[in-house]
Structure 1
């Protein structure tokens, strides 16, 4: 039976573009359709920077009703709408203010694919996020359907005034251009392996298509980056007044319910969406007021230290938030230093080196260290990172060797 392949690459035109999504399509288009699908023959539908959500829905619906295996390749950027705070795939005309009307709701993937037979649908994703969506993912899985196999990566926001490259999907396409498609799990692992240090901060998606699969946010054995620390199993960090700190952007509103206005919380206010202090922090960061955002997060960190202790989950959570804020502000030195501090604190508290939260902290420190261009702080932090890497090697082979080789290159010449 022939297969069906949907190639979808979308990102906004202009200043809102975070990733050059369409650049991957020529590489994917050069792959034989049967190899893309993993079947003897296949029909391929290509959507490059589509303008209208309904046009994408029409193509997705047609692909979903086709008999035989379906493989969907999605490259682009995720953004939240301002009303319900739900994830959307940004399209060519999408702006932060028009997400609800010009972007493709991620829930439509789940709805259109839900009637397909289990085991017949595979999604390969290379997604980038803005700051708000990256923090939203700390607390919410990206639900792509319970019976769909989902592989790929979600990357944090790129550096300011830069456009990212869909490296994961290009790696997938390059592997497939050999003319042979390995089992999708192997294909995914090979692509992740080619990302190198670039992928150290990513959320790696690997849901093989069973009950619960597709609600993705977890790491994958042999992959590298587990889900962000605040999305890990176990108790979520609590503020002194009991508010749930689930991520900078707070909780998303339930389907059909309008979220409350954004604003800074009061310490003893009742727990509700507009009282979540993460919203004020995220708003300041999104507006480019990075010092204000960090100062506000520092206030909550100190409050958590006073109430729960310096090594508490509550305090560590706010250090993680400040590490992300430093990354968004383009300050890899400060971000790396914060992630190293989190990792050291977790180890000192008795957490195992293979604990997901410990690995995540070291992975992100490693990623930010690779962005440092000043040799002096790179050497200083690199020595600390190497010591941590000897204790926390992570899930991708060669991480410690990478640090050691980079440190040798950073030695003063003379």
Structure 2
């Protein structure tokens, strides 16, 4: 199955720029697509210094819904928005005062990757930060969602008025240009060794990110000399990431005793139970094979189980509502997807979440997006007032969102 590769390099123009992110793209673009992806064939999408967050979201969403393995090479700088203190990838028009509106929220990456099959997604990053963001990440390391691999480094601010070079990502690209793609853990260690040789000060300064299915929590540490890579252990997923919706319960890791210590055997011992299946993996497999009704039934069953166990409005219930909304979108049922996202927003607001909370904004934005895709004018006219009411409370990050709903609703009502 062909893979997908997303090459994304972003940094602000002018004095806000901390890293020359786009300088790495010519080197990465010179690598053969199959080497970038680690598959026989691959589709490569390149984004150089994008201007709009929605443009990045569109490309990321398309890559995340494509079948087959996905590899993202991301170079840029992170900044916190002043209101919610959430990390954003700074884009070409981003300034410290406009991060909330012109940057790309990091949690959108987790949102878009959360339904992918565990182990099918890898994100390789070379990120730079200002002093405020660096301190924030020391206590809250970056994650990219359950089941996704994350390798790379986060660098503190460069010297005043200096623009840093993405030496880690350039090392990754240089290694890959040889035509050989080692396992990502090996590639990561080789890139660290090479880049620390070019910038010795980074060896004790940068934050190294290593998340793979063998580790239950994100790992961030100062850069150290290369160590033997850890090899994946099948059947384990990372612990829940700090997103509004919970992630699936991790599957226990199989443990084997050393060869020198034989495991005790007893004729009376019961046969070990098979590890529990991952409902998200089952749902994703159903979607990828076109069995949308089966995927929706599986998610609906999980939602009802969560409802009985935790009660209305619980995070577990909201999570499965969001899964059903995504599944309706994948199946092409924009009306149903819009209805569920509207319900998710209502539940989150009723639970006391602020209108600017990421989960609330995401629900309303997605309801708005799906509403615009409803072909049946009567159905769109029916849902329009509810969306307009929500937009009054949750204006979102895009200017004119409420005006857009009201304008299109007026057009629909004039058709009656």
Q: Normalised by the size of structure 1, how large is the TM-score?
A: 0.53
Match of 2:220 among 217, 221, 235: 217
The answer to whether the aligner puts 1:185 opposite 2:185 as a matched pair is yes
- In 2, Cα distance between equivalents of 1:211 and 1:6: 25
Shift of 1:21: 0.2
Give, in whole Å, the separation in 2 of the partners of 1:17 and 1:190.
27
The whole-number CA distance in structure 1 between the counterparts of 2:353 and 2:96 is 19
Q: Aligned pair in 2 of structure 1 residues 221, 207: CA closer, same or farther (>3 Å)?
A: farther
Q: Deviations over 1:87-121 (max 9, x none)?
A: 00000000000000000000011000000000000
Partner residue of 1:20?
20
CA RMSD of aligned residues (A): 2.0
Q: Which residue of 2 aligns with 1:91?
A: 91
Partner residue, 1:202: 206
3-state secondary structure, aligned to 1:137? helix
Partner of 2:172: 172
Deviation of the 1:81 alpha carbon: 0.2
| 1:5/1:72 contact within 8 Å kept | yes
Q: Aligned ranges for residues 233-272 of structure 1 at < 5 Å?
A: 256=354
Name the structure 1 match of 2:159: 159
Aligned to 1:52: 52
Mark the runs of 5 or more structure 1 residues left unpaired by the alignment: 225-253, 260-414
Q: Describe the SS at the equivalent of 1:138.
A: helix
- Secondary structure, aligned partner of 1:151: strand
Structure with greater contact order relative to length (CA < 8 Å, sep ≥ 6): 1
Shift of residue 138, structure 1, vs aligned partner: 1.8
- Structure 1 contact 147–210 (Cα < 8 Å) conserved: no
Q: Classify the secondary structure of the residue corresponding to 2:34.
A: helix
State the Cα deviation string for residues 277-329 of structure 1 (Å, max 9, x = none): xxxxxxxxxxxxxxxxxxxxxxxxxxxxxxxxxxxxxxxxxxxxxxxxxxxxx
The superposition leaves residues 169-217 of structure 1 with CA deviations (integer Å, 9 ceiling, x where unpaired) of 000000000001011011000000012214220001111135645x442
Contact 1:73 1:123 in 2 (8 A): yes
* 1:257–1:209 distance in 2 versus 1, CA, 3 Å: farther
Aligned residue number for residue 73 of structure 1: 73
Judging changes above 3 Å, is the alpha-carbon distance between structure 1 residues 42 and 258 closer, same or farther for their aligned structure 2 residues?
A: closer
The Cα offsets for residues 218-244 of structure 1, whole Å up to 9 and x where unpaired, read as 4688549xxxxxxxxxxxxxxxxxxxx
Structure with max Cα Rg: 2
Following superposition, which runs of at least 4 residues in structure 1 exceed 2 angstroms of deviation?
A: 209-213, 215-224, 254-259
Equivalent residues of 2:3, 2:69 under 8 A apart:
yes
C-alpha contact 1:77 1:90 (8 A) present in aligned 2: yes
Instruction: Count residues in correspondence.
Output: 229
Contact 1:18 1:128 in 2 (8 A): yes
Equivalent pair of 1:146/1:211 in contact (CA under 8 Å): no
Which residue in the other structure is 1:128 paired with? 128
Q: Distance in 2 between matches of 1:29 and 1:206?
A: 24
Alpha-carbon displacement from aligned partner over 1:142-184 (angstroms, at most 9, x marks no partner) = 1211211100000000000100000000000000000010110
CA offset digits 1:335-390 (Å, max 9, x no partner): xxxxxxxxxxxxxxxxxxxxxxxxxxxxxxxxxxxxxxxxxxxxxxxxxxxxxxxx
C-alpha distance in structure 2 between counterparts of 1:256 and 1:175, whole Å = 46
Counterparts in 2 of 1:211 and 1:187: CA distance versus 1, 3 Å: closer
Q: CA 1:258–1:2 in structure 2 vs 1: closer, same or farther (change >3 Å)?
A: closer
